[in-house]
Every structure is written in C-alpha cells, then in structure tokens.
C-alpha cells in the first residue's frame, strides 16, 4: 500500500487534512483587513495552513506575497528578498513590473532583473549607502501602492523570529500601521532554537 501520509515541507491537495474552522477564521480576518500573528511550535502545520487558505482565496482574486525569512542575515538581504517576492507575485510582464516599481519608489535605484536557465526572472535593487536608508521604507510601502490600485493583497512573513537580530520590528510596525484595511499581514513564527548556552535547560 502506498503511504498516504506526506512528511516534509508544507502539505497540499489530498495530503492536507482538517483546519476547517481555522481557515474560516483566517479568511474572515483577512477580509476585515486585520493583521494576524500565528505562533506555534515547529512542525505544527503553520505554513501548510496559511498557504492552503491563500490558495482558496486566490479564486476570490486575492493576491498574496510569501516571504520565508529563514537564512536572511542582513537588512540588504531582507530588502532584496522582499522586493523580489513582491515583484514575482505581480505576475505581470517583467517590463511592466519594473516600470511600476520605478513609479512607486521614491528612491531612484537601478532595478536589476536576471533570468535563470528556465527563463524565470529574479529582481533586485542596486543600493548605495544613501539609498539603503530610504529603501527599506520604500519597499515596505510597495504593498500599499498595489492595494491602492484596487488589488486585495496579503503579505505573509514566515519564520519571523529569524530576523529578530536585524532590529526591523519597530520600522516594520511604524510603516505597516498606515496600511490597515488595505493590506493584511500575517506573521508566522516559532520559538527560536536554543543556543548552545541553554541547550541543556528543560523547556
Ligand atoms: N493540515 C495538515 N494535514 C496533514 N498533514 C499536515 C498538515 N499540516 C501539517 N502537516 C504535516 O506536518 C508537516 C509540517 O507542516 P508545516 O511545514 O506546514 O508546519 P510548520 O509549522 O510550518 O513547520 P516549521 O516550523 O518547520 O516551519 C508536514 O510535512 C505534514 O507532514
Ligand atoms: Mg513553516
């Protein structure tokens, strides 16, 4: 008999079970424009649950941007990974995306587009020191610019605990508080792994 259980990354289709009530609640929060924090131990099904909800909402023309913050170690990496995730979620022709960004960014950076062997584009910004200070705020405000065009948009930050050391929380909070009702944010996270110092402590 084929093993009916999938174990690995996030699950979908026939491998995804239950979570009926949770999906209903998350959809209601999103349509009310609320921000949501999903905090649970590792392997509890956070990513699967949120992505399943988003796939269902896609039929209602809700666009979402999913950014996994695992392994991001600098603010520049955060800016560029987020910028890339935003660009890819647009699903428009590449030149249209680039022009849109140039029109909404107050800074005037070079928008770089590279293509992999299968033709998939990747987007990044060339930032000089002065730009870098303003680029974070500009990039954080991109979802609001989408939303103002009449597009319902949900931003998902997965593994949020992983960027605690970048001290971005206050900045993100101050920018996104002006996005309420237009953009919904979902922050997902788990407790950070024990460090070598407290690895023997009972949790
Ligand atoms: N709704 C579900 N139905 C069936 N299996 C599930 C479901 N949700 C999670 N699982 C099982 O748990 C595993 C982990 O799920 P998932 O990656 O979504 O959890 P997570 O909380 O995001 O984990 P991590 O903390 O590693 O990011 C899946 O590979 C699958 O085996
Ligand atoms: Mg996960």
121: exposed, middle or buried (Cβ count in 10 Å: 0-12, 13-18, 19+):
middle
Distance CA 115, CA 171 (A): 32
Asked if 127 and 79 count as a contact pair (C-beta separation under 8 A), the reply is yes
Distance 1 CA to ligand 2 centre (A): 29
Distance 188 CA to ligand 2 centre (A): 8
Ligand 1 mutation target, pool 11, 37, 162, most atoms within 8 A of CB: 11
Q: Which domains does the chain have, with CATH numbers?
A: 13-189 (3.40.50.300)
Tens digit of each residue's pLDDT, the chain (203 residues): 888 788 878 888 888 889 999 999 999 999 998 999 999 999 999 999 999 999 999 888 899 999 999 999 999 999 999 999 998 887 677 788 888 888 888 777 678 889 999 988 899 888 877 777 788 998 999 999 889 888 899 999 999 999 988 999 999 999 999 998 889 999 999 987 655 444 444 44
Element (H, E) at 67: strand 63-68
Distance 9 CA to ligand 1 centre (A): 6
Ligand nearest to the CA of 193: 1
Q: What is the mean pLDDT of the chain?
A: 87
Sequence length of the chain is 203
Half-sphere exposure (CA, 13 Å, Cβ side) for 118?
1
């Amino acid at each position: 008999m084929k093993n009916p259980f999938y174990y690995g990354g996030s699950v979908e289709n026939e491998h995804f079970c239950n979570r009926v009530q949770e999906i209903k609640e998350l959809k209601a929060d999103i349509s009310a424009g609320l921000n949501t924090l999903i905090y649970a131990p590792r392997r509890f099904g956070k990513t699967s649950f949120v992505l399943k909800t988003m796939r269902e909402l896609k039929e209602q023309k809700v666009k979402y941007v999913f950014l996994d913050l695992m392994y991001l170690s600098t603010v520049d990496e955060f800016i560029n990974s987020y910028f890339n995730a935003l660009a890819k979620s647009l699903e428009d022709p590449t030149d249209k995306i680039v022009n849109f960004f140039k029109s909404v960014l107050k800074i005037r950076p070079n928008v770089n587009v590279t293509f992999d062997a299968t033709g998939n584009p990747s987007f990044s910004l060339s930032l000089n020191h002065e730009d870098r200070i303003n680029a974070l705020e500009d990039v954080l405000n991109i979802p609001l610019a989408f939303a103002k065009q009449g597009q319902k948009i949900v931003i998902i930050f997965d593994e949020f605990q992983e960027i605690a050391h970048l001290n971005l929380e206050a900045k993100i909070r101050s920018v996104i508080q002006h996005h309420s009702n237009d953009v919904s944010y979902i922050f997902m996270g788990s407790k950070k792994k024990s460090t070598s110092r407290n690895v023997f402590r009972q949790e």
